[in-house]
Amino acid sequence: MSGRTWSSGRLERLLGVDHPIVQGPFGGGLSSTELVAAVSEAGGLGSYGAHILDPDRITGLVAELKAATRRPFAVNLWVPQPGESEARAVPADVERLRPYLDELGIEAPGLAGPYAQDFTEQARALLAAEPPVVSFVMGVPPEWVLAEARRRGLVTIGTATTVDEAAALADAGLDAVVASGSDAGGHRGSFLRPVGESLVGTMALVPQVADAVSVPVIAAGGIADGRGVAAALVLGADGVQIGTGFLAVEESGASALHKAALLGPAARVTVLTRLFSGRPARAIPNRFIEEMAAYEAEVPSYPVQNALMLPIRRAAAERGLADYVNLWAGQSASLTRPVGAAEYLGDLVADAGRILGGGR
């Protein structure tokens, strides 16, 4: 670490990285091998969101990432929540979307499942492929997953939105905990209490989690520049996870219209919405969110709503129609820059170092 003094080095030693910076794992096609490799090669921890991938694709993905970088990287899965496997769509769920299906000229999705991948099969494939780091959101992974990860020497990271969730993850034996504040973009990973009761801002969450657990703490939510990195470390975090900032860089899998939204004035306002997936997620508001706002409490839960919305999202993305796609964004989106991942990470490190007095 070239004598840098602004970080304790605890997270770097655990992950085998040069800098205590984790790229947030994007799902839904927003991750890319190029982004993961660029971040990892620059000394951070690149991450890939794999929750929509089937087991064979996960096996292939890890092989691709190992070929793209010799440095550590992470692959992320969603832990299923109780009742998800029993959820089913009803005709009213499709009819609610009929105006948008007709407007886009696409067929209505079927009501039959399955609506999501099987977590057990995904986890088995991921562990067998042996990425250096496996990370999780939405809950505590099953004990057998953690035991197998330990047996194979893989580092595990869990995600918490409250102090109680962080304690549960640490008690289960995960190696590090992401303290994800309500400022963060994309899906909220709350799993012990409803999301509405778990909206703790990053500034409040991080020091409490740092006091509550002995494992390394990674701050996430509203961090997009060196000032945010420095603030998180001062609050007791061992490192940071940055999502929206890396979503805007050149190598991310985000569409041109998504990146344009992140870099424009619309990103100054974000909202929590269930409309795209059935789970609350922070996004830039658009026409679909505004017109469907009255149905926030009525749309089915994940993964049903996510599956029903997939044809609409795909058609809109292919045609460059921002009114119908999920423009995930955190509350720091206005701080993002359209640069390469390595340049962005280098600026984060340099700026945080100068602020904390350990610059090179």
Question: Is 349 within a domain?
Answer: yes
Give me the tens of pLDDT residue by residue for the chain, a chain 360 residues long: 344 457 789 999 999 999 999 999 998 789 999 999 999 999 999 999 999 999 999 999 999 999 999 999 999 999 999 888 888 999 999 999 999 999 999 998 888 878 889 999 999 999 999 999 999 999 999 999 999 999 999 999 999 999 999 999 999 999 999 999 999 999 999 999 999 999 999 999 999 999 999 999 999 999 999 999 999 999 999 999 999 999 999 999 999 999 999 999 999 999 999 999 999 999 999 999 999 999 999 999 999 999 999 999 999 988 999 999 999 999 999 999 999 999 999 999 999 999 998 643
146 part of a folded domain: yes
N-terminal to C-terminal alpha carbon distance within the chain: 10
Residue 358 pLDDT: 60
Please check whether residue 101 lies inside any domain of the structure.
Answer: no
CATH number of the CATH domain containing 165: 3.20.20.70
Does residue 75 sit within a domain?
yes
Quick check: helix, strand or coil at residue 254?
coil
Q: Is residue 286 part of a domain?
A: no
Structure tokens given for 108: 């209505």
In terms of DSSP bridges, do strands 73-78 and 46-49 run parallel, antiparallel, or are they unpaired? parallel
SS3 92: helix
Element (H, E) at 217: strand 217-220
Q: 105 lies in a domain? A: no
The string of DSSP letters for 11-26 reads HHHHHT-SSSEEEPPP
Q: What is the pTM of this model?
A: 0.95
Closest CA to 203 of 227, 188, 219: 219
pLDDT at 138 (0 to 100): 96
Tokens, residue 49: 């969101």
Helices (H) and strands (E) in the chain, counts: 15, 11
Nearest-10 Cα torsion for 316, 317, 318, 319: 50
Range of the domain at 57: 10-80+117-253+337-356
Tokens, residue 328: 């995930």
Number of domains making up the chain: 1
Under a CB-based contact definition with an 8 Å cutoff, are residues 74 and 50 in contact? no
User: What letter does residue 297 receive in the DSSP assignment?
Assistant: T
User: pLDDT value at position 5?
Assistant: 59
Q: Please give the C-alpha separations between residue 65 and each of 40, 140, 320, in angstroms, as whole numbers.
A: 10, 25, 29
Q: Is residue 278 part of a domain?
A: no
